[in-house]
Amino acid sequence: MARYRITRVNVGMTTKDPHEHIRGVELNDSPSARISRETVVADLKNPNGDRYYTLAAGVAADVVVRSCPKCLRNDYITTDPDKTIRNNLLQLPRY
């Protein structure tokens, strides 16, 4: 198991009740290290899988799997709530 920093996200709009969903992430500011949301979800659901986090202004936030409150997708990824929104996945730069 490794721990990786997510530095950028790729998002798309849903067709029904339009809102953003993360389609993929970039690790450690490296375009060659882009992985799908499905890979992140599979890792997080696996007790021995890799783990992911974000970092902003010195504050780290763990990435977790949740159900989307708008479309009830079971594989929505987000960050654990903390004292700042700057480390939220949707606040990260896009690619």
What per-residue confidence (pLDDT) applies to 73? Answer: 59
Structural domain containing residue 68: 3-91
User: Given this model, what pLDDT does residue 70 score?
Assistant: 81
pLDDT tens, residue order, the chain (95 aa):
999 999 999 999 888 778 888 999 999 999 999 999 999 999 999 999 999 999 998 999 999 999 888 876 568 899 998 989 999 999 999 99
- Beta pairing partners, 60: 55
Ramachandran angles phi, psi of 10, nearest 5°? -115, 125
Residues 6 or more apart from 30 whose CB is under 8 A from it?
none
The predicted pLDDT at position 89 comes to 95
How many angstroms separate the Cα of 92 from the Cα of each of 20, 32, 65?
13, 18, 17
pLDDT in the model for residue 94: 97
pTM of the entire structure?
A: 0.91
Q: DSSP of 32-93, one letter per residue? A: TSEEEHHHHHHHHHSTTS-EEEEEETTEEEEEEEE--TTT--TTEEEE---S-STTSGGGSP
Tally the domains of the chain: 1
Show Cβ contacts of residue 73 under 8 Å, excluding neighbours closer than 6 positions.
Answer: 21, 67
